[in-house]
Amino acid sequence: MGHRKKPMTSWRLIESPPAEIFFHMALDRELFEKFAEDSQALPMLRIYRVTEPAVTVGRSWGSSLHNDEVCVRPTGGGLVRHGKDLIYSVIARRDSFPTFGRVRTSYLSFHEAVQEALVRLGIETRLFRCDEAKISRNLSECFKEPVATDVLFEEKKIAGGGQWRRREGFLHQGSIQLLQGISFEGMREALKDAFERKFDIVWSSNGRN
């Protein structure tokens, strides 16, 4: 008897055109709110970039800042500078994939997918180990202080993420710094392919928002 093939899971794919960071953060929040209200909503991957350099901070730090030029993310984490990165968001339920039930295991899975995408582009990376991580109680630049499972290239963090979890599901936002010679379009296609393989995905649609 042959082995039974693992069933594929339908996900929604959104490839958004470039826009200001405030628009993208608001859209992620809106999409997550709508997802939480619809028990039949499909998991989603959205890939996007900004039209101009921008700075975001995690929601826990937002109330302590008084700067109209800094955008507060709906997810957690410290300060992230955007402009030369690919940003992606995942919205899913905890039972959408075996590793999604816990924060750490879901982070690991997403960053393994990022690693695989980079391998396809000829970039070898490693994941920051738990025993290397430091606990910082101050607002810091995320890409200067990696945490467990962040993606490192030549010992510098190039990919990380933050999450917002509710009973209905979670929103994961990730940033991948585009290394020299790697285009946004190339990284986007490699990431889509890596997600398909990692999470056994079949895309239900390829929309644009």
User: Global pTM?
Assistant: 0.88
User: What gap in Å lies between CA 71 and CA 90, rounded to an integer?
Assistant: 19
List of long-range contacts for 187-192, beta carbons under 8 Å, 24+ apart: 187/86, 187/117, 187/121, 188/15, 188/47, 188/86, 190/117, 190/118, 190/120, 190/121, 191/47, 191/86, 191/88, 191/113, 191/114, 191/117, 192/13, 192/45, 192/47
> Is 172 inside a domain boundary?
yes
Return the CATH number at 52: 3.30.930.10
**Percent of the chain as helix, strand, coil, to the nearest 5:** 30, 30, 40
> Is 136 inside a domain boundary?
yes
Integer angstrom CA distances of residue 169 from 17, 92, 96, 119, 137: 25, 6, 9, 30, 27
User: What gap in Å lies between CA 18 and CA 208, rounded to an integer?
Assistant: 11
> Is 209 inside a domain boundary?
no
**Number of domain units in the chain:** 1
> Is 18 inside a domain boundary?
yes
Question: What is the span of the domain harbouring residue 175?
Answer: 9-201
Nearest partner of 139 among 80, 89, 88, 82, judged by Cα = 80
Q: What is the pLDDT along the chain (209 residues), one digit of tens a residue?
A: 444 456 679 999 999 999 999 999 999 999 999 999 999 999 999 999 999 999 999 988 765 565 668 999 999 988 999 999 999 999 999 999 999 999 999 999 999 999 999 999 999 999 986 555 555 555 566 677 677 789 999 999 999 999 999 999 999 999 999 999 999 999 999 999 999 999 999 999 644 44
> Is 16 inside a domain boundary?
yes
> Is 168 inside a domain boundary?
yes
